[in-house]
Amino acid sequence: MNTNKQQIIEENTTKPSVSLNGILQNFLGNMREIKYFFDINLPAVKNRETEVNEKFKKFTNNHEKEINGRKAIIVQVEEMKTFEKLLEEMSCISHQPLLCNSSFLILINNFEYITKAILRKFFLTYPKSILDKKEFIIEFEELCQFNDLKEVKEFMIDRHLEKVFYKSFSEQQKILQKLFNNKEVLQAINFSVLEKAMKERNLLAHNNGIITENFVKQTGYSVDSVGKKLFISKKKFEEVYQEILFFGICFLILLADKIKDKEFLDVYYQQLLFSLLEHKNYLLIKRLYENTISYAISEDGNSEVINFINYLLALEKIPEEKDKFKKLLDQYKIGSLSDHFKCSFAILKNDKKEFIKLLKTSNFTLSDWYEFPIFEKFKEDEILSKKALSILEKNTKRIMKNAKN
């Protein structure tokens, strides 16, 4: 955390105003890179741990003897180097979980980034909403380093944010919840998962991950874990990862509503669901749609239909939501929709005959066939694919010709 005044000024005077979509893309990009880093390291840690443990067990079994009624490991002089090397490997694997734990620390850093970015954007738009106006004191020597009032405002807001992030996690969340007072969305976020994750981060960062009695009392970890090192499992990482994703996107949507960013709530909301669908994050799409769709805007009516289709595609992929998927699909009236959207619903209903018929008058192109998740199950049918590709080729030529004209 930065407390140096001059450094704050230098950072602030070079920091451009970032759009909401810019913040969203930075956040999502960081999250995906962090998950990739964790996923590639976890198997390496587990495999190496198993390999070394098996080697050590084999060695001890071969060299175990009973002396005076007690078991002991007898190592000959010529084998000491081998034994010492094995002990060294055992010591090393105890440090390998640092790779996974480091991923978790970076994940929490991104959580702090999105929280700070949301607050900064909000305060820059509505500076009068800052709760404690007494904090806004600026020295004359600092004032002389700015070119205009905009830079002064940004500097003072950044200074305020530094103070906010000195507060505890619960106090930070109270500030957020007071600024974005929406019970429906706030209740959907599991703040207890996030608060526990912050305590785990603090233990890793400040106590080398060694579990203490106080940590056990605060988090509900078992008493017999005291003195052991915390290891972030795949299950734990996934749980926190998904909650941070949901938290960040929800608050960006609430912020877009507050600052009346219609483009974000229309175009970028639609693109967001599509992107999550591409990355097979079906449960997150379900949570987002069901808790934030009331904020989405559809000025031409198309976004509303597209969002619903993406939601249905996600439900279809969630085993326990199959009944809900079928019910919503059967209830939806498609009579007034264009052939393009009717074609999409034909896919959802697995009506191949209707699909081919409507595909001819739709606006789907060859690139859509290869890029859109909606075509995934139909691609498995070779005969259907051949017919579809022929039509899509004609569609592509027609659309390109119309675009030129």
Residue pLDDT, tens place only, 30-42: 999 998 888 877 6
Count the Cβ atoms, other than its own, within 10 Å of residue 44: 12
Residue 192 domain flag = no
pLDDT band with cut points at 50, 70 and 90 for residue 113: very high
The reply to whether 84 falls in a domain is yes
Q: Which of 177, 193, 212 marks a domain boundary?
A: 177
Domain assignment present for residue 293? The answer is no
Residue 101 resides in a domain: yes
Q: Examine the fold and report which residue of 145, 177, 209 is the final residue of a domain before the chain moves on.
A: 177
Exposure of 124 by Cβ count < 10 A (0-12 exposed, 13-18 middle, 19+ buried)? middle
In a domain, 197, yes or no: no
Query: Is 112 part of any domain?
Result: yes
Of the ranges 3-17, 44-58, 264-278, which is most confident? 264-278
Write out pLDDT tens, residues 353-371: 999 999 999 999 999 999 9
Question: How many folded domains does the chain comprise?
Answer: 2
d(CA 277, CA 266): 17
Lowest-pLDDT choice from 15-24, 190-199, 238-247, 299-308: 15-24
Residue-wise pLDDT tens digits, 201-246: 999 989 888 899 999 999 988 888 899 888 888 889 999 999 999 9
- For the stretch 119-132, pLDDT in tens is 999 988 888 877 56
Residue 45 domain-assigned? yes
Range of the domain at 380: 333-405
For residue 3, report the phi and psi dihedrals to the nearest 5 degrees. -120, 0
pLDDT value at residue 54: 64
* Residue 136: predicted pLDDT: 64
Query: What pLDDT is recorded for position 6?
Result: 45
Nearest partner of 388 among 351, 346, 357, judged by Cα: 357
CA 251, 299, 334 angle in degrees (round to 5)?
Answer: 105
Count Cβ atoms below 10 Å from residue 77 Cβ, excluding itself: 6
* 348, two tokens: 């959802």
Q: How confident is the model at residue 12 (pLDDT cuts 50, 70, 90)?
A: very low
Does 380 reside within a domain?
yes
Question: Which of 150, 177, 204 is a domain's end point?
Answer: 177
Rounded Cα distance, 243 and 328, in Å: 26
134 band by pLDDT with thresholds 50, 70 and 90:
low
Query: What is the Cα gyration radius of the chain?
Result: 28
Confidence check: pLDDT of 8 > 50: no
Catalogue the E-assigned strands of 158-299.
Answer: none
Q: How far is CA 332 from CA 196, 346, 375, in A?
A: 41, 12, 20
Using the predicted structure, report yes or no on whether residue 288 has a pLDDT greater than 80: yes
Quick count: other Cβ atoms within 10 Å of Cβ 214?
12
- pTM of the full structure: 0.79
